[in-house]
Amino acid sequence: MTKIITKELLFEKGIPKHSNLGQVKKINLSNLNLKASDLDPKLFSQLRKLEELDVSQNLLTEIPNNLGLVNLKLLNCANNNMEQVTSLNQFENLEDLNCEDNLHLTICDTYKVMYLLPNLQRLNGKDITSSANHLRFVNSRHLMSHVTTFWEKNYKAQLSESPTAAEISAVGKDFVRSAVAEVKYGPNSLSEFTKWRVEMLAAEFVASLQQHENQISSDSEWSENEDEDDNEANHTDVLQSSSGRNVMSSGSSIALSSSRNTGLQAAQDIAKSAKQGISGRTEGSQNDTEVTSRKSMRIQLGKERQTALMANHSKKDNSVAVKKEARTTKRDCSATPVAVSKESTPRKKSKYKNSVVLEPLHFLQSHSKDNNPEDFSTQLWACAFEPEVKNSQIPGLQSSRTVATCGGDSVCFIDCETGIVHHKYKSIGEEFFSLAWTTLTVIDKDQKKKLNILAVGGRMGDVKLIHAKVNYCYGKIKAHKKSISTLCFCPKRETFLFTGSYDNTIVLWDIGVPDCDYNFRVSQLLVLNVCSTPLKMSLVPTCPNQYLVAACEGGCFAWDITLTKHEGKRNIEMEFLFPIYNKEDDNTDYHIVDSLAFCNNDLVASKSSMQGSIYLWSWSQTLKRWKKQNKKVHAEILREMEWSNAEQPYIALAACPG
């Protein structure tokens, strides 16, 4: 017998018990003989915080549109008469879906669900994270390639040289219809899904052609207006120069010339110097055919200087100092604003009399070869605190007391309080350079559990995946043919791992979620081309799915990593320009940016070895200045902080936003 869904019934079936539907998080409406017409959008839209809905064992032929369940994460619609799944795309935050035992649904509907729900992790009780991401991005990329090829061969010639919107629309309709019928991809069992996707992709392609044509018309009009403006600007610039206005807009912004031509020339000089610096290092790198150790990638300091440097610091290279704050004093962080120009950055005398003093708590020599206490040559390359599985109530304090360190052929897991090395993982013949943590969500006996995974990489180009709690390496990814220089997990997508390498590429991987037997699936999603070795990467906090920023040996760069775009390989989107530093006894311009970190959602800290300063610059203000026609953009520097003049590169920089 069918029960009519009323507000009273929802209160009865809802958890927690509450007088306000807006506070209910779970509802079980299973086995009530419900039909699609019984699910009233006006009533269900009041369930603003609903996260779990069970409508299994009913008579539903579909899930009605516009239910308004924006926070729904789990939906059980098994054992119904479902005929289509496209209406499920209204649940963007859905993570777990069960639609088993619906006789009218096919394997193609399963693929549609994986594509339509961007956050879906489990389908019918199985983890599909890696498979779904491969389908959404890699499969779509290949299918789009087939659609584009079909256009080039059969329809491109039908358009005139400067087609109108009506002409594109007319040809486009026929193109979409033919593409659905003619483009073949994948097994026959998925032909319905393939046709569904081809129709979507072909329509997107036609829309992009129309947008491109509109852009050309717009650019043409803009160019004509710009020519008129330039004629007026010749007089305007003279007036500005006389009055002294518009030379520098504020103390925190970059100095600009009052003359357009002079400002353009300065930018060209900087760009030219940057290009020369990069090409100089590229030639030097080509002489080194093999990257046998990361030490060989240091800036060329000269053999004598390098030997002296190693002698002075050899006993420190293999030590980890876990420090506690003994005395805190308020530090004067006000620094002189920086004006960007092609001139060398002036040296600054220290203004700071009071500073924070840190005292060593433990010294550990845990990476020596064969545990030899006389080994001071094995270098320690990276360390990172393990994430706290339990959610901390204090922002910024979400790491545990365990720190992971890598160097030589081993990775150590150290208790910071006691100084005890709990675990040590070794890989004979490897030299680890980088590591990164992520917390995966696994399902064990219908219970969600958090699992801390450490990814480590180095000289061999492999990424090792280690379950830290049991010190078990459950997987290996052959990520690069050359050594790995840096690793970075996406904070919003726990399985997304970026790997940077000496082969001058950054690759995005989906490492998947291991099952109870540690089986997992890896998928390569994206390749980013770099002009030099990436040394440190960070995703932009306000848009982690759109931009990746990297400090590299050739400068600081950003890429568009939006996965919905169909390019599997991406070039540099932005190159950030900084004041050029010339060493007093050398004519070389040093462009290496060896570390960076986001101090908050907008503020970036970056440093260059041998420069003696750390730049604090604004991501949002720099982005506003960037023009897509030119990838080079001056970083909007807010402060220049004093930093050691040490000639040692690769000293990592980190930040605690909390």
**Distance between CA atoms of 615 and 543, rounded to whole angstroms?**
22
Residue 271's pLDDT is 35
Instruction: Please state, rounded to an integer, the average pLDDT across all residues of the chain.
Output: 79
**Distance between CA atoms of 331 and 356, rounded to whole angstroms?**
8
Q: Which one-letter DSSP state was computed for residue 275?
A: H
Q: Which one-letter DSSP state was computed for residue 459?
A: T
CA 92 to chain centre: 20
Could you report the per-residue pLDDT of 451-506, keeping only the tens digit for each? 999 999 999 999 999 999 999 999 999 999 999 999 999 999 999 999 999 999 99
545: helix, coil or strand?
A: coil
The pLDDT of residue 257 is above 90: no
Q: Under a CB-based contact definition with an 8 Å cutoff, are residues 305 and 647 in contact?
A: yes
The pLDDT of residue 96 is above 50: yes
User: Any idea which residue has 């990489």 for tokens?
Assistant: 457
Q: Is the dihedral of CA 526, 463, 459, 558 positive or negative?
A: positive
% the chain with pLDDT above 90: 51
Residue 463's pLDDT is 97
The pLDDT of residue 161 is above 60: yes
Could you report the per-residue pLDDT of 188-203, keeping only the tens digit for each? 999 999 999 999 999 9
Instruction: Phi first, then psi: give them for residue 508, nearest 5 degrees.
Output: -100, 125
**Distance between CA atoms of 56 and 31, rounded to whole angstroms?**
7
Of the pLDDT bands very low, low, confident and very high (cuts 50, 70, 90), residue 354 is: low
Q: Under a CB-based contact definition with an 8 Å cutoff, are residues 196 and 140 in contact?
A: no
Amino acid sitting at position 305: R
Could you report the per-residue pLDDT of 511-535, keeping only the tens digit for each? 999 988 899 999 999 999 999 999 9
The pLDDT of residue 392 is above 60: no
User: What is the DSSP secondary-structure string of 339-385?
Assistant: ---SSPPPP-----S---EEEEEEEE----GGG-TT---SPEEEEEE
Highest mean pLDDT among 53-62, 165-174, 222-231, 583-592: 53-62
**Distance between CA atoms of 433 and 152, rounded to whole angstroms?**
46
Q: Is the dihedral of CA 465, 541, 122, 201 positive or negative?
A: negative
Buried b (16+ CB within 10 A) or exposed e, 534-545: bbbbbbbbeebb
How much is the average pLDDT of 118-136?
90
Residue 356's pLDDT is 79
How much is the average pLDDT of 234-243?
36
**Distance between CA atoms of 590 and 577, rounded to whole angstroms?**
12
Pairing mode, strands 357-364 and 320-327: antiparallel
The pLDDT of residue 6 is above 80: yes
Residue 357's pLDDT is 84
Highest mean pLDDT among 137-141, 293-297, 557-561, 649-653: 557-561
Buried b (16+ CB within 10 A) or exposed e, 65-74: eebebeebbb
Cis peptide upstream of residue 16 (ω within 30 degrees of 0): yes
Q: Under a CB-based contact definition with an 8 Å cutoff, are residues 11 and 27 in contact?
A: no
Span between the terminal Cα atoms of the chain, in Å = 56
Residue 283's pLDDT is 38
Could you report the per-residue pLDDT of 312-349, keeping only the tens digit for each? 334 334 444 443 333 233 223 333 333 333 333 444 44
Q: Which residues pair with 524 in a beta bridge?
A: 509
Of the pLDDT bands very low, low, confident and very high (cuts 50, 70, 90), residue 18 is: confident
Amino acid sitting at position 608: S
Residue 1's pLDDT is 59
